[in-house]
Structure 1
Amino acid sequence: MNTRLPYLLPPNPTLGLCAPSGFLTEPGALEMAILYFSEHGWNVREGTHIRNRHEYFAGTDTERLEDFHELIRDPKVDAIMAARGGYGLTRLLPHLDYDAIATARKPIIGFSDVTALHLAVLAKTGLVTFAGPMAAPDFGHPHRSALHQDHFLPLLQNETHSSPLIRLPFTIHEGAAGLRLRHQIGNGLEGILWGGNLSLVAHLVGTPYLPQVEEGILFLEEVNEEPYIIERCLMQLYHAGVFNSVRAILWGQFNRCEPTHASAAPYTLEQVVDYLQHLVPIPLLQNLPFGHVRDKLTLPVGGRVRITLPDPAHYQLHFSQYGVTGALQKKSVTEQRGSDSP
């Protein structure tokens, strides 16, 4: 994969906000997010239709597409963040201007339904985007995560960055399973980071919007799905051969993913993980702080990541070469197109 790097954010950047999926459901959350960014020296530009509602969506498909393209093409906008997730981005994938996205090389930030955008952009352009917090549910929350300040901003503005230490689950770092995991990771394991919401990753199998990543580090998260449905999505990836080119799996937060009273028999998420570990003989590291939770890392989709085990109970992610220095912004469009990462 010929990865294209986005620009590092300059001081006092301008953030473009759009709602490419569901309509805004939390009154005042967007205003709180805008206030947060303004207080931290950011300028904010709202998409024209960000506050619209059409059926389930934040405006019609045309309106949501127009907002995204306006922010991509506006030279004053340095980065683009989704206001929220929901559903609707897969409708837009065939109509995105991938050439404009590749030329602009702006950080695109979001998670959940935005997984479809991250993976499509990586497949079509090779551009690194960012799975991370969104405006309304994260920056518009009255109890914001400390990771926003400690991890989100440094990742987008520094050339290299490491995640906070991530605790391995108790059942993994002890006993035979822990020994096997430490042997698999060794002195460090490196690859291309990609993934996102499990349902979206599975739904893109067989489409031109699923990137072909060799030596990948696959990260996954999910919300509000029964464990057997999660396993079904994993089996879709397995049968499609996706795991054949994956070096490790980072297992994020699968919150509210419990068997319900409607299940014929209780089948737990722990059983799903156990089956996956026996099915796919690669390291599976749990407890990644990412998903539909308050505390989430920001992850460069398509960027290189190195996994290390600094001690028997923790792992850490090290990011580098995910962004182009601001000096490159002064080059011509022709020069920019020829400045891909190694």
Structure 2
Amino acid sequence: MAHIYVFSPSSAVRDKAAFRRGIKHLQAMGHEVEVDVAALASHMRFAGDDATRIEAIDRAAASGADVALISRGGYGLTRILPGLPYKAIAKAIDKGTQFVGLSDFTAFNLAVLVKTGRITWQGPALGEDFGTAEEPDDIMLACFDDLLQDQGEGAGWQRPKADAAIQTKAHDAVLWGGNLTVLTSLLGTPYFPAIDKGVLFLEDIGEHPYRIERMLTQLLHAGVLARQKAIVLGQFSHYKLVPGHDKGYKLNTVVEWLRGQLKTPVLTGLPFGHVSTKVLLPVGAKVDLVTEGRDALMVWGHV
């Protein structure tokens, strides 16, 4: 049984039913779930004003929990990064608390990496992943359980057939990344990691391929992409093409264009993003990445 602390550092929780289902599911798994006093706070679109959300993060760090799990993503972390209790967060991680989330939580992951050098996790959120109307995804649950039991040592996936010819090996590379929109918004700030020869993973939701290309282009022109050992693309979901206007321009078009701009290998198919099937990824950990045919394996060992 694990102690899980649920907190809301970003947008207000609107789907209370999913929130309650998520808590019940974690409890049914045998975990002790502690809910932050401001987890359901609401201020404009946020889960409380800026001070309230910083205090929630501080309480999560002081909770002594095995996992500090976000209720949801949305928006709100980038505006409070200067006020985060980085020393308290680092102390909590050193004592064994794993901070887990995705989407807007990318800002937290990257800022903590820059300011403290500590590892945090890109993974599920309470409502989106544990609070679904259907049963939560088996792979996500298995990866989460591995984290709780300190057994997760890597992730493997099968790439699209068309990508089988693209092979790479990366050894002892820092794994970093997350949501493309949030990561790109940090470029040029003190919270953007200066990582060379890393493995950069990216995902997004609701962004048309041309907007994905525009953000990738910004990272390309800033020199970020060429400095990596590999770019790993996760799932880009919930967007709509415009057949009469796009005229064949789609996500694969963006991927092929990006590959034409880089010597750095661009891999696809990572099971991570705003989708039910997701692995958990340690932001800031050293990883080995290897491909063989369509298979890709990323190993980080115990972190």
Q: TM-score range by the shorter chain?
A: over 0.9
Conserved 8 A contact 2:225-2:231:
no
Conserved 8 A contact 1:22-1:56:
yes
Instruction: For 2:32, give the aligned amino acid.
Output: N
Matched, 1:36 2:31: no
| CA distance in 2: counterparts of 1:255 and 1:121, whole angstroms | 27
Q: What does residue 102 of structure 1 align with?
A: 90
| CA distance in 2: counterparts of 1:122 and 1:170, whole angstroms | 35
Alpha-carbon shift at residue 190 of structure 1 (Å): 4.1
| CA distance in 2: counterparts of 1:143 and 1:97, whole angstroms | 35
Conserved 8 A contact 2:143-2:152:
no
| CA distance in 2: counterparts of 1:260 and 1:19, whole angstroms | 35
Matched, 1:213 2:209: no
Q: What does residue 14 of structure 1 align with?
A: 3
> What TM-score comes out, normalization by structure 2 length?
0.93
The SS at the match of 1:252 is strand
Deviations 1:199-223 (A, max 9, x none): 1111100000011122210000011
Matched, 1:280 2:262: yes
Deviations 1:20-51 (A, max 9, x none): 11111223212211122222222111111111
Q: Write the mapping of 1:8-157 to structure 2, written as runs, cut at 5 A.
A: 12-74=1-63, 76-105=64-93, 106-141=97-132, 142-157=134-149
| CA distance in 1: counterparts of 2:20 and 2:248, whole angstroms | 42
Q: Write the mapping of 1:298-337 to structure 2, written as runs, cut at 5 A.
A: 298-309=280-291, 311-322=292-303
Higher relative contact order (CA 8 A, sep 6+): 1
The SS at the match of 1:55 is coil
Alpha-carbon shift at residue 313 of structure 1 (Å): 2.2
Distance 1:156 1:262, change over 3 A: farther
| CA distance in 2: counterparts of 1:198 and 1:251, whole angstroms | 10
Q: What does residue 236 of structure 1 align with?
A: 218
Structure 2 residue runs of 5 or longer lacking an equivalent are none
Instruction: For 1:152, give the aligned amino acid.
Output: F
| CA distance in 2: counterparts of 1:248 and 1:190, whole angstroms | 12
Instruction: For 1:109, give the aligned amino acid.
Output: V
The SS at the match of 1:28 is helix
Instruction: For 1:77, give the aligned amino acid.
Output: A
Conserved 8 A contact 2:140-2:276:
no
| CA distance in 2: counterparts of 1:83 and 1:213, whole angstroms | 29
Alpha-carbon shift at residue 162 of structure 1 (Å): 2.9
| CA distance in 2: counterparts of 1:155 and 1:308, whole angstroms | 22
| CA distance in 1: counterparts of 2:225 and 2:149, whole angstroms | 32
| Total equivalences in the alignment | 299
The SS at the match of 2:30 is coil
Instruction: For 2:37, give the aligned amino acid.
Output: T
Instruction: For 1:65, give the aligned amino acid.
Output: I
Superposition RMSD on alpha carbons, in Å?
1.8
Conserved 8 A contact 2:285-2:300:
yes
Alpha-carbon shift at residue 71 of structure 1 (Å): 1.6
Conserved 8 A contact 2:198-2:230:
yes
Provide runs of 4+ in structure 1 moved above 3 Å: 257-266
| CA distance in 2: counterparts of 1:223 and 1:66, whole angstroms | 28
The SS at the match of 1:149 is helix
Alpha-carbon shift at residue 52 of structure 1 (Å): 1.6
Instruction: For 2:104, give the aligned amino acid.
Output: D
Larger radius of gyration: 1
Alpha-carbon shift at residue 265 of structure 1 (Å): 5.8
Q: Which moved more, 1:76-85 or 1:260-269?
A: 260-269
Q: Which moved more, 1:261-270 or 1:236-245?
A: 261-270
The SS at the match of 1:44 is strand
